[in-house]
Structure 1
Amino acid sequence: MKRLLTRLNIDTYIILLASMVLLASILPARGIGATVAGICADAGIFALFFLHGARLSRQAVVDGARHWRLHLTVAAMTFVIFPLCGIAIRAIPHLDPAIGTGMLFLTLLPSTVQSSIAFTAMARGNVAAAVCSASFSNLAGIFITPLLVALLITGKQGGFSVDAVMTIVFQLLLPFLAGHFLRPWIAEWIARRKTMLMVVDRGSILLVVYTAFSAAVVEGLWARISLAYFGTVALLSAILLTIVLLLSREVGRWFGFSREDSIVLQFCGSKKSLASGVPMAGVLFTAPQIGVVILPLMFFHQFQLMICAVLARRYAAAIEREEIATAG
């Protein structure tokens, strides 16, 4: 089964996420169970952002500043072009407001780290620049994403308040800064326990997804969502990914980036982070809203992995053909 999923470019983690949605649909957390699950999910979010901070090398921040044109362009794709697309999608006439909100939230998130770097390496791009760009995006997302959500989503609903700011600070920013501050003492310990920490990372997100969909199911989620709803989300996610992939490729040409840097722009500038998005949604939205809000992100995450895997292989194959032709 794992071999089949790999061949189809289907992330096994998506299967686990879908399993959490199914479990929440059949056995949603209620009453005391929901309270306990919520506390555990909050603890997981705290741990997740603490580890994000601990993994961010200070040297990566310093090195990133040297290639500022590329990193600013990636940041513009992530936090300007993407949100403009999200605003345009939400303005589509007769679109379900819940879909519009979920799609807009998706566009406000930072880029991924692991998959952006992995696809850049696979495509034989500038891996060092990809590390810096992806790290910068995640660091900036701690500040920029909540601000954009407040300006474009929750603020318009009257939901952004001093309490919301304090929640963001205590659950996202402080653990991130604490992890980064303690990095000199814990970096080696973390490096030796990658498997265990990956379980913490992914387990935290799975728990947030379960609690989010539990709350939404209790509030009557499946009575409001149809197959047409899922189809619309999938279609819009696919269209959005196509637009940003094409646009990032053209922007690289307009700015005269080398092929290696253009690969960085395409793979770092077209991604959205599930690892950051799910816990951020858990902090920024009310419990019944979270399940609906993260649905587009789950679709987009799978699409970006499938399509970018194909693109990375094609880029690598093209470079290999050129090298063979040159050698010949």
Structure 2
Amino acid sequence: MQTIRLILNDKFIWLLSGSVLLATLVPVTGSAKPIASFAVSAGIFWIFLLHGIRLDRQEVIAGFRNWRLQSAVFGFVFGAMVLAGLVLSQILEGYIASMIAVGFLYLGCLPSTIQSAASYTAIAKGNVGASVVAAATVNLSSIVITPVFFALLASSVGIVITGASFIKIMTMLLLPFVIGQLIQQWARPWVAQYSGLVGWSDKIAISLAVYVAFSGAVAAGIWNQVPGDQFLIVALAIAALLIFAFGGAWLLGGVAGFVINDRKALLFGGAQKSIAVGAPLAAILFPAEAAGLLLIPLLFYHLTSLILSAPLAVRLSKL
């Protein structure tokens, strides 16, 4: 019962699902596209400004004292998961639409979530502080690491990330983060005071990026270009990746000899993937029709990992 309540109460699941449904029924077209594109850019800037305001420098410094756990999360997120995404993308090439196959590589290169990882670690009665710091660290690092890894690995399948794209990434992701850090002293009390409203604005901005990207895919004829059996293949691949991610992160914690609370932090901090970074970055790197296809594996993975995390966290809370 607690598991079902956790899933039903996660409004972000409903927001993302609603974004995909709305894009299918009422995609952005015509003269509305430039307006939607500007709104997405503004939303991306806002998301990373909030990241900069929320991430306390002292928490990061303190968290690095548990360097073994931080290293394990970092290595699993940007090592094992990148390799898994690359392998899956190569296996699936030729069986599903090329851009969706590349989406598995893109998924593998992304950082873990911050809020969800911390929330489920808390429910599981794990090391919440270490979870927050680990997720925040990989998210900060991802501003550079994710596009670089993806550019290097995607070049083998003909995807080219230009220098102009990297400049745009720095402008839309790194610049607002730095501004957020600079104004943190004055802005954090305001963010804390209006945490509910700010939290919703964050989620809505991410959902808008998903909506516009998927609208492009719908307008390009995704439902005609991608038959149902390809979505079944994607679902099976996502299931395999979830088993690898959650099983691998848990086993790594055991092999490394972590105490149970640190293993729980590694599990949720290593296995989940951030759509808060994935959707905005895809909007920067690709036109909407390509970004919509690229995001399909991430959407499947993110939603199912949240649903899977709920019963796992409840079960682990008893250990």
Cα contact 1:233–1:296 (8 A) shared by 2: yes
Shift of 1:230: 1.9
The residue number in structure 2 matching 1:279 is 280
For the aligned residues, what is the CA RMSD?
1.9
Provide Cα deviations, 1:215-234, integer angstroms capped at 9, x if missing partner. Answer: 22222222112221222222
Q: 1:280 to 1:158 in 2, by over 3 A?
A: closer
- Measure, in 2, the Cα distance between the counterparts of 1:84 and 1:166: 26
CA distance in 1, matches of 2:231, 2:203: 24
Aligned equivalents of 1:154 and 1:23: distance in 2?
33
| 1:8 CA displacement | 5.5
1:36 is matched with 35
Secondary structure, counterpart of 1:95 in structure 2? coil
Distance 1:4 1:140, change over 3 A: closer
Residue equivalent to 1:77 = 76
Unaligned runs of 5+ in 2: none
Aligned length: 316
Larger-gyration structure (1/2):
1
Once the two structures are superposed, the pairs formed by residues 142-291 of structure 1 within 5 Å of their partners are 142-153=143-154, 157=158, 159-291=160-292
Query: Could you tell me which amino acid in structure 2 is paired with residue 43 of structure 1?
Result: A
Q: Give the structure 2 partner of residue 109 of structure 1.
A: 110
Q: Name the CA shift for 1:236/1:11 in 2 (closer, same or farther; >3 Å).
A: farther
- 1:95 maps to what in 2? 95
Counterpart contact for 1:120–1:264, Cα < 8 Å? yes
- State the shift of 1:302 in Å: 1.7
Cα deviation, 1:133-162, whole Å, max 9, x if unaligned, reads 111111111111111121122685353222
How does the TM-score come out when normalised to structure 1?
0.91
Q: Is the 8 A contact 2:111 2:142 kept in 1?
A: yes
Map of 1:127 onto structure 2: 128
* Contact 1:116 1:268 survives alignment (8 Å): yes
The SS at the match of 1:102 is helix
Distance (whole Å) between structure 1 residues aligned to residue 155 and residue 283 of structure 2: 13
State the SS of the aligned residue for 2:161. Answer: coil
Q: How does 1:14-25 map to 2 (within 5 A)?
A: 14-25=13-24
Instruction: Report the more deviating stretch, 245-254 or 75-84.
Output: 245-254
Distance across 1 between alignment mates of 2:6 and 2:121:
20
Deviations 1:16-50 (A, max 9, x none): 22322222223222222111111111111111111
Preserved contact between residue 50 and residue 179 of structure 1 (Cα < 8 Å): yes
Q: Within the alignment, does 1:48 sit opposite 2:39 as a pair? A: no
1:83-102: CA deviation from partner (whole Å, max 9, x where unpaired): 10011101216332233211
Say if 1:48 and 1:7 are closer, same or farther in 2 by CA, change over 3 A. closer
**2: CA distance between counterparts of 1:132 and 1:67?**
10
1:286: Cα distance to partner?
A: 2.2
Name the SS for the 2:272 alignment partner: coil
Letter in 1 for 2:68: R
Report the Cα distance in structure 1 between the residues aligned to 2:250 and 2:103, rounded to whole angstroms: 26
Deviation larger for 141-150 or 23-32: 23-32
Cα distance in 1 for partners of 2:285, 2:157 equals 13
Distance, in Å, in 2 between the alignment partners of 1:158 and 1:269 is 27
Change (3 A) 1:307 1:23: closer
- What secondary structure sits across from 1:98 in the alignment? helix
